[in-house]
Amino acid sequence: MFPPYLFAYAETLRAEPAVERLFDLARERGARLWVTGGTLRDVLLTRWPRDLDLAVDGDVEALGRGLARRARGRFVPLDAATGTARVAIRSRQGIDWIDLVALRAPTIEDDLRARDFTVNAIALPLEALMGPEPCPFLDPTGGRDDLHGRHIRMTSAAALDDDPLRLVRAYRFAAQLGFAIDPATREAIAARADLAVRPAAERVHQELSRLLACPTPADALEQMMADGVLGCLCPELAGTVGVAQDHYHHLPVWEHTLETVRGLGALLQGPGALGEAATAWAREPAHAEVLTWAALFHDVGKPATRTPAEGRTRFPGHEDEGAELFAAAARRLRLPGRKARRAGRLIRNHLRPLHLLPPFREGKLTLRAVDRLCREMEDDLSGLFLLALADTRAARGPAREADTEKMLAELYGHVESVRETRIRPLDARPPLLTGTDLIRRFGVPRGPRVGALLEGLREARLTGAIATRAEADAWVRARLAEDDAPRGPGPVGDPARHPVGEDGPVG
């Protein structure tokens, strides 16, 4: 007998016009269809899938194009070599697309035995779900038992050799489903860890991104490193294993990294430790993925910068080194450029909130410092503070101040307030002077001096030192006059160093 929720899913399929048209097409062409793969797995786990995975004994392209015409959908060939296609449909029942995959063996049973993991190697004839009477599951590898036992188990060792991407996929499924990888499967994966680099980098990146998008990826990452797979894919991370840290931390670098990823997951799923703005930012899956990449690599620069000094261990410049190492890994894994740049910027700046805490505690944090942080981080400001908070929670050494988490939250609220009330209103107004004005009206040569003056003008306007075009003109003339004045032992003409345009404490 089918479980009740499978009957409910069968009713959904029968009520979907596109599925009915596909069923009719298959009968007309003498093709056979089986519901299988992730669709059937998720239904058996009482999850409602948005896709319909079908194994096809017949002409996939003819069926797919015919369905696209009859259902007014869109046919998308995915892989001609394996006979895989997708039809995007306008669903009435919450099914967004139908994936058609040609049998990769003479029979459906042999096809299932050649799949990656037993939980994905279960099938039901579509006719059994479309008709009035149920029929037995096709389950040659014991996938239903593994579903009940919550195990990820390979169908065979040969399946791992056939597509080494499955070495990575095992950990992704474990994190996604909350399952444990069968010990024999882990042993087989570890024995083949060096094969993980063979699939196309784009496919590896996709699997890693799906893993990092899971609510709790840290356990799977820990196992990947222990089994040698993650070290092969990301040798930069392997270098952090066994690296001891200073008295601010209670864990070595790799264990601290895992704890940071765990803490970040809790923050992203939690009630909102940093308030509404950060919570809204983290709800976007693309933001969460970029942030998790940054958390995974945020301390990857520590091994190269480890410096014992005066009985302590320092890591000077590890954030810059880490950003460079991540950029190399991102190129190797073919991460999209914008995703790589955002994660790299988070890595490079992950200590900034902690560096701003001392002046914030003392009431000496300047508008200038807040403005530069907001402009450098742009829309990822909330992500930076979430990363800093997760990083801090993962560092519980004796030197960490007890109220650091509380003060980070207060600092974030302050920075957000300044951004909303001072910085964004300024950005919404046209500049008082432009670079062209400086060049044409004041004779400033093209080059860095123009940028420095514009920066000084912005800071002066932000602090209220100037408010009109006439005041901006006077400010520029004063700065240029200082450039022409005799110089003392230190620089006097740089508006970034000059007291005009500097501000006092904020708040």
Of 94, 118, 148, which residue constitutes the final position of a domain?
Answer: 148
Q: What share of the chain is helix, strand, coil (3-state, %, to 5)?
A: 60, 10, 30
Whether 240 is in a domain gets the answer: no
Q: Looking at the structure, do residues 383 and 467 belong to the same domain, yes or no?
A: no
The helix or strand, by DSSP H or E, that contains position 149, with its residue range, turns out to be helix 143-149
Backbone angles phi, psi at 456, to 5 degrees: -65, -40
Domain CATH number, residue 171: 1.10.110.30
Cα–Cα distance for residue pair 405/394, rounded to 1 Å: 11
Least confident segment among 6-10, 289-293, 315-319, 500-504 = 500-504
**How many domains does the chain fold into?**
4
Q: Which residue has the tokens 């797995």?
A: 41
Q: Looking at the structure, do residues 410 and 284 belong to the same domain, yes or no?
A: yes
Burial 193-211 (b: 16+ CB within 10 A, else e): bebbeebeeeebbbbbbbb
Of 94, 125, 148, which residue constitutes the final position of a domain?
Answer: 148
User: What is the DSSP track for 432-455?
Assistant: SS-HHHHHHHH-PPSSHHHHHHHH
Whether 348 is in a domain gets the answer: yes
Cα–Cα distance for residue pair 480/501, rounded to 1 Å: 15
The answer to whether 476 and 453 are in contact (CB under 8 A) is yes
Tokens of 199: 């699939």
Report pLDDT for 134: 66
- In angstroms, the Cα distances linking 498 to 47, 444, 475 are 62, 18, 12
Domain housing 119: 4-148
Q: At 292, is the pLDDT very low, low, confident or very high (cuts 50, 70, 90)?
A: very high
Classify 32 as helix, strand or coil.
strand
Residue closest to 153 by CA, chosen among 111, 122, 199: 122
Whether 228 is in a domain gets the answer: yes
Q: At 13, is the pLDDT very low, low, confident or very high (cuts 50, 70, 90)?
A: confident
To the nearest whole number, what is the mean pLDDT of the chain? 90
Residue 5: is it exposed, middle or buried by C-beta count within 10 angstroms (0-12/13-18/19+)? middle
User: What is the DSSP track for 313-329?
Assistant: EE-TTHHHHHHHHHHHH
Tokens of 59: 């002409």
Q: Looking at the structure, do residues 49 and 198 belong to the same domain, yes or no?
A: no
Residues of the chain with pLDDT > 70, as a percent, come to: 94
Cα–Cα distance for residue pair 38/53, rounded to 1 Å: 7
Q: Any bridge partners for residue 32, and if so which?
A: 57
Report pLDDT for 497: 35
Evaluate if residue 149 carries a pLDDT over 70.
yes
Report pLDDT for 258: 97
Q: Looking at the structure, do residues 127 and 200 belong to the same domain, yes or no?
A: no
Least confident segment among 201-205, 229-233, 253-257, 309-313 = 309-313
Classify 77 as helix, strand or coil.
strand
Least confident segment among 180-189, 220-229, 463-472 = 463-472
Q: Looking at the structure, do residues 138 and 178 belong to the same domain, yes or no?
A: no
Of 395, 413, 428, which residue constitutes the final position of a domain?
Answer: 428
Q: Looking at the structure, do residues 83 and 131 belong to the same domain, yes or no?
A: yes
How far, rounded to the nearest angstrom, does the alpha carbon of residue 343 sit from its chain's CA centroid?
8
Q: Any bridge partners for residue 309, and if so which?
A: 312
Number of H helices, E strands in the chain: 28, 10
Backbone angles phi, psi at 316, to 5 degrees: -65, 130
Residue 21 burial (CB count, 10 A): 17
- What single-letter DSSP state applies at residue 490? S
Backbone angles phi, psi at 82, to 5 degrees: -100, 0
The answer to whether 98 and 139 are in contact (CB under 8 A) is no
Q: Looking at the structure, do residues 265 and 379 belong to the same domain, yes or no?
A: yes
Instruction: Give 296-306 pLDDT, tens digit per residue.
Output: 999 999 999 99
Whether 243 is in a domain gets the answer: no
The answer to whether 237 and 300 are in contact (CB under 8 A) is yes
The answer to whether 111 and 124 are in contact (CB under 8 A) is no
Q: Looking at the structure, do residues 404 and 444 belong to the same domain, yes or no?
A: no
Tokens of 300: 């990857």
Q: Which residue has the tokens 């066994």?
A: 242
Instruction: Give 248-259 pLDDT, tens digit per residue.
Output: 888 999 999 999
Report pLDDT for 58: 92
- What single-letter DSSP state applies at residue 506? -
Q: Looking at the structure, do residues 384 and 288 belong to the same domain, yes or no?
A: yes
Q: Looking at the structure, do residues 265 and 386 belong to the same domain, yes or no?
A: yes
Whether 506 is in a domain gets the answer: yes
Query: What strands, in cross-sheet order, belong to the sheet with 84-88?
Result: 74-79, 84-88, 97-102, 51-57, 32-36, 123-125
The answer to whether 371 and 423 are in contact (CB under 8 A) is yes
